[in-house]
A and B are shown apart, each in its own frame.
Chain A
Amino acid sequence: MRRIGIDVGGTNTDAVLIEEGKVVRAVKAPTSEDVTTGILDSLKSLGSTGVLAGKKIDGVMIGTTHFINAVVQRRSLTKVAALRLGMPASASLPPFCDWPEDLAALVRGGVWMVEGGHEYDGRLFMPLDEAAVTGAVQEMKAAGLRSVAISAIFSPLDPGHERRAAELVAAVIPDAVITCSSDLGRIGLLERENAGLLNAALADLARDTIAAFETAIADSGIAAPLFITQNDGTVAEAGQARRLPVYSFASGATNSMRGAAYLSGLADAMVIDVGGTTADVGQLKHGFPREANSVVKVGGVRTLFRMPDLLSIGLGGGSHVQLDPLKVGPVSVGYRLLKEGIAFGGRQLTTTDVAVASGVLNLGDRKKVAHLDAATCKKVFDEAARLAEEAIDRMKTEAGDVPLIAVGGGAFLIPEKLPGVSRVVHVEHGDCANAVGAAIAQVSGECDQIFKDLSRTDALAAAQGIANDRAVAAGAARASLTTIESEDMPLAYLPGNSVRVRVRVVGDVAAG
């Protein structure tokens, strides 16, 4: 298997080539304004030694912050028609009701609410009012809206009404781009609907961006399918990512952690990814980051996206160092390190300067930091280690000592021994762990549903079957599927032994 992984970060676009489980080459190119040029440059640089010549590439996996940036920066967004099926319930909280006003003004093309939806146990809440749906769609058409987000009460349990409404939309607006909230998972109407609305708002950008990625790959002479990495450390085929761009919102941190697992060979460990300004601490379980289970805000909008649970602290290679009293971070010189660091002729003492002075790093001019004696350097390193230790202790969920993988450009700040850590693992290519994580991404399937009148074992088995089928539908090879999360929660007040089960499985991309 031969794959190229690309991570489009804020500063650099990293690319790696992985062949039969080994990193053959890793390169960095500056991220370009249009994103595509940076990808093309990194691919050219990757192939410049001839490693790609005449070889078949099985896939190019790209991780990008393009979609989340569009929402955060309020640009390139599509006007959305919101169609909710659930009247007369929830009428006082219509779609967009908890959005920041500036973002709602850009995205809200119109709101329609009609009767429909289900109960928690699958009973009908109200029959779908098809005439009202068709009437709404005619108004959407008259308003020139093409991107439609459909949500229905309890649609993760029964997506029937959303699907039927989608047919009715397509009958009137044949080129409509339709997002059904049931494709975006979880229980929680407003948060799921918000995810659907954001997804619909990204319809045009997703189409254009993924087309540009495909062009960049074709222009570089590589003939390989394109995959986009997702928030949870898996990939989606380009077609699916185009349909559900919100799933690719926050893949950078996830890719780093997955890359760390891969490069170290450890599936269960703590990871610290030390960049220029911040260090992200997370926990790997079965080779995947532990997910945040709570509400995640994106550009001010509440959602329930699958995102890794991370603790960020202000510690990095560019962190300001103050000697008396001793203080490291949280302020950083960031990408200006090569101008402002003392070893590079600047005036700000940074952690990198201390590493140069003590001989840990061979960068800049060591003479410029000769005034820092060994005792001072040790004090700074000890303080950095204390900050890291505290963050790791807060993120750990086991009482015993666990291994820690240190990656990222600032990984030199992490010492070989830390309290609460069984061993610290520094890996080769750790500074490109994010692109490595993209290259090795897998395909996942998830089921989050309420089961009634089933034993716990049967409910878990039913959920597992649904998750497996979804993973295969998303492009996974069935034989490679493994369960990485399985969680059940009995529901207070609901009758008949109701249990909410969440199962997630992953597998390798099926050979095409």
Chain B
Amino acid sequence: MVHEHSADPAAATVNRLSVRNIRKKFGSLEVLRGISLEAHDGDVISILGSSGSGKSTFLRCINLLEIADEGEIWVDGEHINMVRKHGRNVPASSKQVDHIRAELGMVFQSFNLWSHMTILQNLIEGPVHVLKRPRAECIAEAEALLEKVGIAEKRHAYPAHLSGGQQQRAAIARSLAMKPKVMLFDEPTSALDPELVGEVLRVMRSLAEEGMTMLVVTHEMNFARDVSNRVVFMREGLIDCDGSPAEMFSGATSPAFRQFIGNFRG
């Protein structure tokens, strides 16, 4: 489905995701100062940066949890329509916002599973009530997804009765149940105990291997280096440098990035 395209090369070659010159201010604080990014089918892009560099805000602007003041976004070739109000962008249609969000999977740092529903109910909620698909079909798919992320035996448990790692895997499965075009991960392992990080990263790695298009805000350097095909380093609301993991970690990048990864090596 194509909504009024502006004559733009980004829309012509259909990327999974195109972001053009996003800007966002909170009060007088300019958090994003002009970010552009393209994700092709199957791209796994790690977004690195110290806290306050704007990487989470950037991700939240893509699925419209925050509305960027300026800039344009295409999801799978569909332009998100904005109107200007008081000098900033406002979505033209809340229907389109819901439809775009349904196409983007979002995984949060704090899991955010719905606590009054069992794991299985969490998984079928979106497909049944947002996509309005037949319940029996959704249940079958949800059980397969739970099998895949390794928590099939927890399908009738409530989120509060699962470990953090299990909850995050359930949250990933909940997003996948919507059959998203792009998956967005907002520091998916930052709230986990160290021994639980591995099980979540394994699920993400297998998703990447299946060709899912992913944007991952993370502090996991090994994931960025080994799993992603592109690394973006954000600093003070701008993309400081980006490239393949080989280029980025070879040392021939910006001084700021060298210093950033230096901190991780301790």
- Same complex: no
Which A residues have a C-beta under 8 Å from some C-beta of B? none
